Amino acid sequence: MSKYKIAVLPGDGVGNDVMEAAMLVLDKVGLDAEYIYGDIGWEFWRTEGEPLPERTIELLKNTDACIFGAITSKPKNEAQKELIPELRGKGLIYRSPIVRLRQMLDLYLNLRPCKAFKGNPLNYRDDIDLVIFRENTEGLYSGVEFRPVPDKLKQMLLETSKNMAKYKDVPNDELAISCRIFTRNGCERILRSAFEYAKKNTLKSVTVVEKPNVIRETSGMMVELARQIAPEYAPVELWKTNVDAMAMWLVKNPQNYSVLVSSNMFGDIISDLSAQLVGGLGFASSGNISDTYGLFEPTHGSAPKYAGQYKVNPTAMILAARLMLDWLGEKDKADAILNAVAAVIADEKIRTYDMGGSNSTIEMAQAIADKI
């Protein structure tokens, strides 16, 4: 019996290309694992009306961790049109499988390291090394949304919030409401994850990125809690920055930051910005982590137009595999991958198209495997 059972979900689009590349590196590093492939993505939406089949959820429940490639998601109407004829008009609704998995498996921590590798021509600066802790299960992505707004809800809001008065005469079907739901527990666990990481790695600061001056109740709760728990993690300093200002500081002085912590949507946005500072989505990996399970993925999407061309940079996917090894406790193997990636980039020989070169996905992965 293998030490680990790992679910492998390539997904669709370039998900397949980069997964093949990552498996090449994982094979080289020699993890004692059984890899079990599962179904997810656009093809299963089209043909089964369900991009995340029940059998895949079962697979995840029976494995130690998962590596995940990428999947396509499209707006409601387009998704309808692509269903096979038998499934159309049945009221099926496409909801992003990755967002559902995060909620279903309570993968509350979205860990997104953004490290500049020396020699990467795409670096904004070479001294950036920050990690984003994005809350991954609640906030604006809770899925509690209304359009049209039910009369009952509108009435209740009119009774309980004076700021609602200006919407009194807007017809219900011309109103849309998306709830930004924070829980104390949700805030506390993401904050503690960030502080624990900073303390363990002797980092100077944790910056909480919110907007409490305007979004008083949700952002307010997050920042208040950060203030309360920060002293437990001294000498790590608590820094507080509004999300709009953070966008500016990240362009001005990204090298000053080490750990950023934020709610779901703000974390989503600042993580794309930060990824671009260190070479773009081809270098951005992430871990979706609960207390008992981890699902690791590149931050990039499925880029359907490049599917099957073996053109895209597999580094993000390979770094996601590295994050998985780290989370499993296979520190030496994780470090071996990180060092191999760093060495290949520093060599300045192998370059995928995003880096201005013409090497393929597999050539990049092979070069990394060869350094292990």
Q: Which residues bind ligand IPM (CB under 6 A)?
A: 73, 96, 98-99, 268, 299
Residue 12 burial (10 A CB sphere; 0-12, 13-18, 19+)? buried
Q: Residue with the closest Cβ to ligand IPM?
A: 96
Give the shortest CB-281-to-Mg ion separation in angstroms.
Answer: 9
> Which H or E run includes 139?
none
Smaller CB distance to ligand IPM: residue 46 or 100? 100
Closer to ligand IPM by Cβ: residue 72 or 360: 72
**Least separation in angstroms between CB 134 and Mg ion:** 9
In a 13 Å sphere around the CA of 288, the CA atoms on its Cβ side amount to: 24
Helix (H, G, I), strand (E, B) or coil at 214: coil
Residue 239 Cβ, how far from ligand IPM at the closest point, in Å?
Answer: 23
Residues in region 250-309 near Mg ion by CB under 5 A: 268
CB of 25 to ligand IPM, least distance (A): 22
CB of 335 to ligand IPM, least distance (A): 25
In the window 176-195, what residues touch Mg ion (CB under 5 A)? none
- Listed in sequence order, the residues at least 6 apart from 32 whose beta carbon sits closer than 8 Å to its beta carbon are 2, 3, 4
Residue 238 or 287: the one with the smaller Cβ distance to ligand IPM is 287
Q: How far is the CB of 268 from Mg ion (least distance, A)?
A: 4
**Of how many residues is the chain composed?**
372
Torsion 365-127-325-98 (CA) sign: negative
User: 233 vs 296, which CB is nearer to Mg ion?
Assistant: 296
Q: Considering CB distances under 5 to 8 angstroms, the limit depending on partner class, which of Mg ion, ligand IPM, none binds residue 98?
A: ligand IPM
Q: What is the enclosing helix (H) or strand (E) of 274? A: helix 264-277
Q: Measured from the CB atom, is 92 or 99 closer to ligand IPM?
A: 99
Number of amino acids touching Mg ion (CB under 5 A)? 1
Return the number of the residue (41 or 49) whose C-beta is nearest Mg ion: 41
Helices (H), the chain: 15-29, 42-48, 54-61, 76-81, 97-104, 151-160, 184-200, 218-229, 243-252, 264-277, 315-328, 331-347, 361-370
Which tokens in the block code for residue 22? 């990552």
The footprint of Mg ion (CB under 5 A) covers 268
